[in-house]
Amino acid sequence: MKKYFILKGVEGNLLKFTIALITNKRLFVVILGAYYLTIPNVTPWWVGTILLVSTLSGFLFEIPSGYIADKIGHKKALVVSSVSSVLSTSFFLFADSVSFLFLGGIFLSIGVAFMSGTGTAFIHETLRALGRESEFREIMGKMKSIGFAVPIVLTILIPFFVSISWKLPFAISLISDLVGFVAICSLVTPPVPQEHIDEIRLSNFRQVMHEAYKINFFRYAIFSGILGGVLFGVGGFRAVYQSALGIPVVWFGVLFGIGRGFASLLLWHSGRIQKLFKTPAQIYVAKLVVFSVLIIALGLTHSVWGIAILFIFINAFQWGLGNIGYSVEATGKSKFKATLLSVKSQIQMIVGGGAAFLLGYLIEVIGYSKSFIVLALVLVCLLTPLLFLISKDKKQIGIGGDDSGE
C-alpha cells in the first residue's frame, strides 16, 4: 500500500482523494431518517417526499454535472461537489423546519451529482498519467475500502452524540466536510494530450449521447441506476423502520458501522471478486439475485434483530460490491467518461426518489413488511428484461468500477 499513497505531484492525488473519500461519507446518514422525525409535523410521508425532492434535484444536475466536469475539468467539478456538501450539512445542522430539510437534501444531491463519475474519471486520468492504468481496479478498490473503514469509529459514536444533542453529529460532519474541501482543493490536475482537450472542446452533448448509444453503454447504466435507486429508497427508511421497531438510537451507529466494515472488506478484495465473473451478465445476475432476496427477506422477517441484520447485509453489499461492475469498461476509450458515468447516477437519482416516495406511501397504507416485498417484485420486473440485453455482450471483464456504487 505504501507505493500507492505519497504526497507529491500527480501521484499525491491518490492520498488526497482517499482523504476526500473518507470525509465525503455522510456520517449523519445513520440517524438522518430519525432526525427528520424530530422536526415538527414530519411524518413518514414527509420523509419520502423530502427524499423525492432532493433526488429530483440531483436528477436535474446529474448528467449536466458530468458534462460540465468534462468541459471545465474534473478537479473544478470536485470542488463544486465539496462546496455543496458543506452547504448541505450546514442546512441540516441549523434545521428547524421542513424547508431546511429540503435544502439540505437538495444540496446533498447536488454534491453527489458532481462527485459521481467525476471522481472515477479523475483517478483514471491520474493513473493513466502515471502509466498505471492497468492497476485501476486494485487501487480504486483499496482507496474506497479505506474511505469506508476509517469513518466507522465516528459512525458508531454518532448515535451516542445524540444523547447530548441531535445537532452534534451534523456539527462533527461539517468539520469533516471542511477537511475534505481542503483535500480536494489541493489535488493536482494530471496532464492530458492536446487532442484530448480539443475533442472535448469541440464536442456537444448530443454527440456524447450518440456515442453512448453506439457503444451499448445505456444497458449497463439503466440496470445499475435502477438497482442503485431502489437500494437508496430502502436505505432511506432504515433508521425510520428501526425506530418504529423500538431499536434504541444508540444502536444505529453500531449496526451501520458493522455494515460499512463488511463493505470495506469487500472493497479491499474487489479485484479478486471481479475475477470470479467471466462476463458482464454474470455480475448483474448475481447482483439482482442477492438484492432482491435480501429485500424480500426484509419483508418476510418479523424478528427485530433479524431485520437489523438484514439491513447490515444490504448496506454491506450495496457499497461493498460497488466496485464490481462493467461501467468503466463500457465507456471504452471515450473522452467523456464523467458524462457517461453520470447517466447511471442520474437514473439512480430519479429511481431513488420514486422508490423512496413509493415506500413512504405504501408504508402508511399497507405497513413496512408488505411494502418491501412489493418493492422487490417491482425491482425484479424492471431488471429482468435488461439482463437479456446484457447477456448478449460476450466481452471479457477488464478494469472498471465507479465511485458511486452500483
- Dump the DSSP string for 142-202: HHHHHHHHTTHHHHHHHHHHHTT-TTHHHHHHHHHHHHHHHHHHT--PPP--HHHHHHHHH
User: Are 87 and 114 within 8 A, CB to CB?
Assistant: no
Listed by start position, the domains of the chain span 7-391
First-to-last C-alpha distance (Å) of the chain: 25
The secondary structure of residue 4, as a DSSP letter, is G
Give residues with Cβ within 8 angstroms of 317, minimum separation 6. Answer: 263, 266, 290, 291, 294
Is the pLDDT score of 1 beyond 60? no
CA-closest candidate to residue 180, choices 8, 72, 319, 18: 18
Please give the pLDDT value at position 236. 80
Each residue's pLDDT tens digit, 255-304 = 878 888 888 888 887 777 877 887 788 888 899 999 999 999 999 998 98
Residue type, 89: T
- Split at pLDDT 50, 70, 90, the class of 323 is low
Higher pLDDT, 211 or 398: 211
Higher pLDDT, 211 or 81: 81
Please give the pLDDT value at position 67. 63
Each residue's pLDDT tens digit, 9-25 = 788 888 899 999 888 87
Phi, psi for 52 (deg, rounded to 5) = -65, -50
Which helix (H) or strand (E) is 211 found in, with range?
helix 205-214
- Dump the DSSP string for 39-84: STT--HHHHHHHHHHHHHHHHHHHHHHHHHHHHH-HHHHHHHHHHH
Question: Among 42-46, 62-66, 284-288, 377-381, which stretch is predicted with the lowest mean pLDDT?
Answer: 62-66
Long-range contacts from 159-166, C-beta under 8 angstroms, 24+ separation: 159/30, 159/31, 159/249, 159/250, 159/251, 159/252, 159/253, 159/254, 160/250, 160/253, 162/31, 162/249, 162/250, 163/250, 166/31, 166/35, 166/38
The Cα–Cα gap between 48 and 320 comes to 25
Kindly state the average pLDDT of the residues 140-152: 81
Over its C-alpha atoms, the chain yields an Rg (Å, rounded) of 20
- CA distances in angstroms from 330 to 91, 203, 229, 235, 334, listed in the order given: 38, 20, 20, 28, 9
User: Are 121 and 334 within 8 A, CB to CB?
Assistant: no
The grid coordinates listed for 323 are: 466496485
Each residue's pLDDT tens digit, 49-100 = 887 787 777 767 766 666 676 667 788 889 989 999 999 999 999 888 888 9
What predicted TM-score, i.e. pTM, was given to this entire model? Answer: 0.65
The Cα–Cα gap between 223 and 131 comes to 32
Fold (topology level) of 7-391: Growth Hormone; Chain: A; (1.20.1250)
Angle made by CA atoms 244, 249, 253, in degrees to the nearest 5: 120
The secondary structure of residue 97, as a DSSP letter, is S
The Cα–Cα gap between 339 and 144 comes to 21
**Cell 469506508 maps to which residue?**
148
Each residue's pLDDT tens digit, 224-261 = 889 988 998 888 888 788 888 888 777 877 787 888 88
The Cα–Cα gap between 282 and 227 comes to 15
User: Are 165 and 153 within 8 A, CB to CB?
Assistant: no
Is the pLDDT score of 396 beyond 60? no
Please give the pLDDT value at position 203. 46
Is the pLDDT score of 7 beyond 70? no
- Split at pLDDT 50, 70, 90, the class of 401 is very low
